[in-house]
Amino acid sequence: MSMSLRRVRVAPVACAAFTLALLGCAEPVAVQSTIAAPAFAVASSGSPPFVFAAGCCYYNGQVVRTVVPPAAAPNEGTDNFYGFPGTAAAGQKGVVGVIPGVPGYHGGHWKFHAVTWNVTPYLLTSEAAVLAAAAAGDVTATRAPASDFKCPIQP
């Protein structure tokens, strides 16, 4: 009986934490500490619910993972992140300027740039590619400090 009662208590907490994570309303530590190991293992097949195993961002042509949820940090970004809030090429992910182990990485304190297309979208997989597309007039990268966020990269 207590086992059933315990499951009833854990499931809502795990669901609430996961929902908050998807909405970006909680820090990763808070999400991780509120989910019991058994519920966590069953819910996500052994992977933390805040890690995109397939990757979320490009860095120099390679897909890297990031931790979700991003925590809002308006006007505090230090590392470049290029997002594509409108139309984008198939397979487009966010583009990060640095990752752990690269000089200048500040733990995922992202300075958000909204990238919009002026031509038919094509895949951009590095900061250099985004900057080259902007120089060619293919995209416009607009600094959006109100959208800065914190979210560490997992190489």
What's the total number of domains in the chain? 2
Under the banding of pLDDT at 50, 70 and 90, the label for residue 22 is very low
113 within some domain: yes
pLDDT at 65: 87
In SS3 terms, the chain reads as CHHHHHHHHHHHHHHHHHHHHHHCCCCHHHHHHHCCHHHHHHHHCCCCCCECCCCCEEECCEEEEEECCCEECCCCCCEEEEECCCCCCCCCCEEECCCCCCCCCCCCEEEEEEEEECCCCCCCCCHHHHHHHHHCCCEEEEECHHHCEECCEEC
64 has a pLDDT exceeding 60: yes
Give the domain extent around 21: 2-44
Measuring CA to CA, which residue among 115, 26, 63, 1 is closest to residue 13?
Answer: 26
pLDDT at 46: 43
Tell which wins on pLDDT, 4 or 93.
93
Q: Same domain, yes or no, for 77 and 112?
A: yes
Which pair of tokens denotes residue 53? Answer: 């195993």
Bond before 103 cis per omega within 30 degrees: no
Kindly state the average pLDDT of the residues 29-55: 39
Under the banding of pLDDT at 50, 70 and 90, the label for residue 53 is low
CA distance 110 to 82: 9
Q: Other C-beta atoms within 10 Å of 117: how many? A: 17
49 within some domain: no
Q: How far is CA 99 from the centre of its chain?
A: 13
pLDDT at 61: 96
pLDDT at 3: 40
In DSSP terms, 51 is beta-bridged to 67
Tell which wins on pLDDT, 143 or 48.
143
Under the banding of pLDDT at 50, 70 and 90, the label for residue 9 is very low
Q: Same domain, yes or no, for 20 and 76?
A: no
60 has a pLDDT exceeding 50: yes
82 within some domain: yes
Residue 33 contacts by C-beta under 8 Å, 6 or more apart in sequence?
none
Q: Same domain, yes or no, for 69 and 22?
A: no
CA distance 88 to 150: 23
Mean per-residue pLDDT of the chain: 73
| pLDDT tens readout for residues 74-131 | 999 999 999 999 899 999 999 999 999 999 999 899 999 999 999 999 999 999 999 9
Q: How far is CA 14 from the centre of its chain?
A: 20
State what percent of residues in the chain have pLDDT above 70.
64
